[in-house]
Amino acid sequence: MLRKDLQALASTAVRAIGKPTKKYKYIFRDKLYTEVFSHPAYIRNRQIQIRMKRIYSSLALVLLSTLPVVAQAPLNWTLVNTGTNKNIRDISFMNKDTGIIAGDDGLLKMTTNGGASWTDMTLPSTGQGTGNNNNIKVAQFFDYAGSIGGVLFFDKFTAVNRTYDLTGGWMEECGGGVFSPAGDSICSINNFHHNQSFSEYVAGGTCLGGGGIVGYFGGFCFSFDSLRSDVSFTGWNDITANQDVIVTVGANGFFANATVPWAFTLHQSGTGYNYLSVDWSDTSTIYAANDSGGWLLEKSTDGGNTFVVDSTIGPNFYYPIVAEMDFTEDDWGVMACASNLYNGVIITKRGSQIDFFNTDSLLTSAFVLDSTLAFAGGLDGKLYKLEQSGGMGITPVVENIDFSIFPNPQYAENDLLNLFVEEEVKEIIIYDITGKVLMDQFINRQGSISINTGIRTAGTYIVRVVTNKGVGTRKYVVN
């Protein structure tokens, strides 16, 4: 096995065993591997320079030069004391106070004070397969008529465990023959989606003959479809749905989409990489992540019929592996990632703004309640919390960067914009008089800067430069 292949596999490992030595043991997809290789260099923990959010303004020119603007502040993730060192596999919060974490070796804890303290919950007595050791893969909860309802899936299971009221305990649902389609057994539900219409969807794999299954719950029991039963296919890893379209992604570059409720079309990307996570980010965009390590996200804008690499998202110095992502419907989302063999990174997307937060543990799960509260969990009981006011972390920043434009006015025949800025510039934005963005370019330069704007129409424009120390705005005239 090539070293780079080993690192890509280990970065998505279920859990690492022991310290980094020349003989390294790790568990990947429930199998123990021992490989001999030199200690991999840690990816340098470089400071991530936060790019400030571009500003859309329709103010008059005279006001633009004098009024404060708004820019996004860096995000502050804090480590929550969960009282456990068991690996977290899933996170679910009903509101800012009440939430549940679940994972390996019977980890099932609940908080009613936003994570300040946690209480162990009673595990269901049924619903898991032989040799599972109480490992929970999926635990999702939601408000059900004023009570806490939810479902729980063990790593290898024989029935759905459901509660409509936690105070009333668990019930076994859909047990027995329903989990043996086509003579095979469903033993692994990898992910679960519950939408606001109380429709539920699951994605997973079969145990005996290989292949994958997706399931739909309409109020009585799950109905399943294998979609792909080839023994070389190890299963579907995630599923997402809005009110109209369901999308599932899985191994070997396969994905499938369906119109609600149930009529899937199978697709394959051709890359051969395993898709790990998928989610709607807004009403028209779906993001998917795979284990290639060559890019961060792929994007679909046609309801999951096609996915293409989105080169505008992600760091330019390395590409972490996204274990799970969770988005709201306004393009505000969190990605829980592995950045190398031993460390993780939380990637937060707020529209066009991308933020990175490094962690000392591989991350496995993400949960976003809304734009004010999010969580990312990982190995060894690590749980990180982001809590903020003001929506997407928008805080006032006063314009304080001085710069010059020359020549100004510029001739319409020449679209070259020349600037001189003493501070290092991260972003240059040009607006027309109505506030429409005509150009938005990210750079890392200071001093004399020349860029082609593509603007050859006479008029008055606004040029804004964004640096780590603030922003500056100047009027720009084209004759």
pLDDT, mean of residues 186-204: 71
Phi, psi dihedral angles at 67 (to 5 degrees): -85, 150
What is the model's pLDDT at position 356?
Answer: 84
On whether the CB atoms of residues 115 and 83 are closer than 8 A, the answer is: no
pLDDT of residue 187: 60
> Would you call 5 helix, strand, or coil by DSSP?
helix
What is the structure's pLDDT at 85?
96
- Does 1 score more than 70 pLDDT? no
pLDDT greater than 60 at residue 323:
yes
**CA distance linking residue 107 with residue 310, whole number of Å:** 36
Residue type, 151: V
d(CA 280, CA 141): 19
Question: pLDDT averaged over the chain?
Answer: 75
According to the CATH classification, is domain 399-478 in 2.60.40.3080?
Answer: yes
pLDDT computed for residue 184 by the predictor: 42
Say whether pLDDT at 229 is over 80.
Answer: no
- Give residues with Cβ within 8 angstroms of 195, minimum separation 6: 241, 242, 243
Give the pLDDT of residue 186: 55
- The C-alpha torsion from 177 through 180 and 186 to 189, rounded to 10°, is -50
Length of the chain: 479
User: In the chain, which residues fall in CATH 2.60.40.3080?
Assistant: 399-478
User: Tokens representing 453?
Assistant: 């704007």
Bond preceding residue 68 cis, omega within 30 of 0: no
Looking up tokens 């994605």 gives: 203
Exposure string over 372-394, b if 16+ CB within 10 A, otherwise e? bbbbbbbbebbbbbbebeeebbb
254 forms beta bridges with 268
pLDDT per position as a tens digit, 68-123: 333 344 577 999 999 999 999 999 998 889 999 999 999 999 999 999 999 999 88
What lies within 8 Å, CB to CB, of 447 at 6+ separation is 420, 421, 422
Distances (CA, A) of 249 to 118, 239, 349, 440: 33, 7, 21, 33
Tokens read off for 317: 């110095």
What are the C-alpha distances in Å from 349 to residues 280, 336, 344? 13, 12, 16
- Each as own residue / partner, the long-range contacts of residues 434-438 (CB below 8 Å, 24 or more positions apart, any chain) are 434/58, 435/56, 435/57, 435/58, 435/59, 437/54, 437/56
pLDDT at 385: 96
Domain(s) labelled CATH 2.130.10.10 in the chain stretch across 72-395
Q: What is the pLDDT of residues 365-374, one digit of tens each?
A: 999 988 789 9
pLDDT score of 215 more than 90: no
Identify the H or E element spanning 446. strand 437-452
Residues 420-442: b if buried by 16+ CB within 10 A, e if exposed: ebebebbbbbbbeeeeeeebeee
464 by Cβ neighbours in 10 Å (0-12 / 13-18 / 19+) ranks as buried
Measured CA to CA, the distance from residue 263 to residue 241 in angstroms comes to: 13
Residue 23 to residue 35: CA distance in whole angstroms: 6
Pick the CATH number of 72-395 from 2.130.10.10, 1.10.287.4070, 2.60.40.350, 1.10.287.3510: 2.130.10.10
Q: How far is CA 125 from CA 158, 169, 336, in A?
A: 12, 10, 31
In tens, the pLDDT along 273-301 reads 899 999 998 888 999 998 887 777 899 99
Give the sign of the dihedral formed by CA 102, CA 90, CA 239, CA 164.
positive
